[in-house]
Structure 1
C-alpha cells in the first residue's frame, strides 16, 4: 500500500481528494491536515510514503512545509498539488525537494498516476511548466526581500512591517526598494503583485 498524507486547507477539496485516492486498491490516505504548520507532526505520526501538499495554506505555505518534511523525513516523497501552475512555485518546489508538481485541474487519473510514479522514485512534472520555469529563471528576490513583500502585500506601513519582521524601518525601506527594482514595479504594492503572480512569494 502507498500511504498518503494530504495537506489542503479547503475541506471540500481535501475530502474529494481523499475519497478519490481511497478508491484505489493500492493507496491509503493515512492523514489529512489543513495547514502547513501541521504537516511535519502529522507525517511523523502517520509515516506516509507520499505527501500531497497545496501551496497556499494558513501558517507555513506548502513550499516551506515541503522543505521541512524532506529534511526531517527524507523517505517521504512530496508532490505539490496547487491551483496555480506558476513557474516560480514550480522552481521553488523543485529546490525544496518535491518529486512532483500537479495542478488541481489535472485529470484524476493523472494525480493517481503521479502518486504511484513518485512513490516508485520518479519525478513527475508538467513539461510546459518546467520549460516556462527555465525560461523565466530563478526568483531574483532574497529571502528577506520576499518576507518584506509578503508583509507589504497586507498593506501595512513601513513601521508595521518593521515590527512584524523585527527589523529597523531603514532596513525595510532598503529591502522594499531592492524588490521594487528587481520586479520592475513602480510601487511596493505593484512589486508584491508581480512577485506573487510569478510565484516568487
Structure 2
C-alpha cells in the first residue's frame, strides 16, 4: 500500500480527495491536516510514502512545507498553476504537480509515479512554466516587493531587510521596470500572477 498524507485547508476538498483515493486498491490515506505548519508533525507520526500538499494553506504554505521536508516524496495539488510556483516546487525537490481539477485517476497515477521515484507534471502547467521563463527579479527585489504586497511601507521594508529607504526604493523601482508595470500595485499583481511572489 502507498501511504499518503493529505494537507489542504479546504475540509470538503480534502475529504473528497481522501474518499476518492480510498477507492484505489493500492493507496491508503493515513493522515489529513488542514494547516501547513502541522505537516511535519504528521509526517513524523504517520510516516507517509507520499505527501500531497496544497499550495495556499494557513500556518505555512505548501511550497515552504516542501522546502522544509527535503528527501520526502511530495506532490503538489493546487488550483494555482502559476509558472513560478512550479519552478519553485521543482527547485524544492517536489516530484509531482497536479491541478485540483484533474481527475481522480490522474491524481492516483501521479501518486504512484512519485512513489516509484518518478516525476509527474501536468502537461499544461509544464508548458505554461516553460513559456513564462525565469523570474527577472533578484532576491532583494522579490523580498522588497513581497513585503510591499503585505502592505509594508518603505520604512518598514528598509528596517526589516536592514537597508536604507533609498535602497528599498531602488529595488522597488527596478522590480516595477523589470515587470513592465506602471506602479507597485501592478508590479505586485504581475509577479503574483506568475507565481514569483
* Fold similarity call, TM over 0.5: yes
Residue 132 in 1 paired to residue 120 in 2?
A: no
Q: SS of the residue aligned with 1:58?
A: coil
Rounded Cα–Cα distance in structure 2 between residues aligned with 1:10 and 1:129? 22
How far 1:175 moved relative to its partner? 2.4
Residue 152 in 1 paired to residue 154 in 2?
A: no
Who is 1:45 aligned against?
A: 45
Q: SS of the residue aligned with 2:120?
A: coil
Who is 2:35 aligned against?
A: 35
Residue 197 in 1 paired to residue 176 in 2?
A: no
Who is 2:157 aligned against?
A: 161
Rounded Cα–Cα distance in structure 2 between residues aligned with 1:192 and 1:58? 21
Rounded Cα–Cα distance in structure 2 between residues aligned with 1:17 and 1:37? 20
Map Cα deviations across residues 129-148 of structure 1 (whole Å, 9 max, x no partner): 22321222111223333232
Structure 1 residues 109 and 40, CA gap change in structure 2 (3 angstroms): same
Residues matched between the structures, number:
197
In structure 2, runs of 5+ residues without a counterpart are none
In the alignment, is the contact (CA less than 8 A) between 1:39 and 1:69 conserved in 2? no
Rounded Cα–Cα distance in structure 1 between residues aligned with 2:62 and 2:193? 16
Structure 1 residues 166 and 120, CA gap change in structure 2 (3 angstroms): same
Structure 1 residues 11 and 147, CA gap change in structure 2 (3 angstroms): farther
How far 1:168 moved relative to its partner? 4.2
Rounded Cα–Cα distance in structure 2 between residues aligned with 1:59 and 1:89? 18
Map Cα deviations across residues 164-190 of structure 1 (whole Å, 9 max, x no partner): 556543343232122212211111111
Who is 1:175 aligned against?
A: 171
Rounded Cα–Cα distance in structure 2 between residues aligned with 1:129 and 1:9? 22
Q: SS of the residue aligned with 1:144?
A: helix
Structure 1 residues 37 and 178, CA gap change in structure 2 (3 angstroms): farther
Who is 1:21 aligned against?
A: 21
* Equivalent residue for 1:123, pick from 119, 128, 136: 119
What is the TM-score normalised by the length of structure 1?
0.88
Who is 1:9 aligned against?
A: 9
Across the aligned residues of Structure 1 and Structure 2, the Cα RMSD in angstroms comes to 1.8
Map Cα deviations across residues 36-56 of structure 1 (whole Å, 9 max, x no partner): 222222212221110111111
In structure 1, runs of 5+ residues without a counterpart are none
What is the TM-score normalised by the length of structure 2?
0.90
